[in-house]
Amino acid sequence: MNPIVLKEKISEFLKEDLGFGDLSVAFLPGGTPLSGSFIAKQSGIICGQEIPQATYDLLGHATYKPRIPEGAPVKAGDIIGTVSGTAQTLLSGERVTLNLIQRMSGIATQTTHFVKLLDDATIRITDTRKTAPGLRLFDKYAVSVGGGFNHRFDLTGGIMLKDNHIALAGGVTQALAAVKRHVGPLTPVEVEVETEEELRQAVAGGANVIMFDNQNPETIKQWRQLVPKTIKVEASGEITAESISTFKGCGADFISIGNLTNDVTPLDIGFLVAGAVKS
């Protein structure tokens, strides 16, 4: 992750959490040296090993040592990393650190699960812009750690003409013609289609990527035959863990899944300092 942006984001999160200070530590010996461990409480894929040190660097003095590589599987009871520093730094940074690592590991775990269920090396699973506000950097990074790929990061990352844009322009042909007059050679144009006629218009209009929206695997196979190999095909819409395996061999180049980052179950990870009783 970009270290400058990472620092800026974590600084925002710490400001939100600390307010005028950490009252829980304010009246205790905050300068006391402590050591602690981050411990997985369930199986999954670990993600966010940069987060602890970046957080501690903003708060004071502490050194974090990862015990498990980024993107590696963990099981309940595994120590994912250890830290030593002052009590003030370790305890004041605990919640922000855990919130991020838990969420990122949950996304990485879910992404790996989808990749395994699809079981098709010819199709890349991608995320969408359905990320939590302020967390897109972390969410999309976690998808890549889990074996997925990133779709555009923001509205400047490419042109995507969806149903509302097409309606605004008066049709697929008109929408493509309008944007093609202005885009440079490095700006891809993707078009969402819902009918075979829209698909033919997208091909004729020179789309770089065509999204088959809410289509079943059999329709995707049929429509793929109408698309030149120079144009990439993306499948999207209501694809779940229960249905993803049916898309194996459908011919799409990408399958985008909003729920990778939109329906997140954080991985349960705890933090304990030496001498604390495990609950």
Interatomic CA distance for residues 278 and 134, integer angstroms: 32
Active site residues: 95, 130, 162, 192, 213
Question: Cα–chain-centroid distance for residue 75?
Answer: 22
Token duo for residue 251: 């011919």
Interatomic CA distance for residues 4 and 21, integer angstroms: 24
- For residues 108 and 45, is the Cβ–Cβ distance under 8 A? yes
Helices assigned H by DSSP within 72-119: 87-92, 94-118
Interatomic CA distance for residues 185 and 183, integer angstroms: 7
Helix (H), strand (E) at residue 43: none
Interatomic CA distance for residues 261 and 103, integer angstroms: 9
Exposed, middle or buried by CB within 10 Å (0-12, 13-18, 19+), for 6?
A: middle
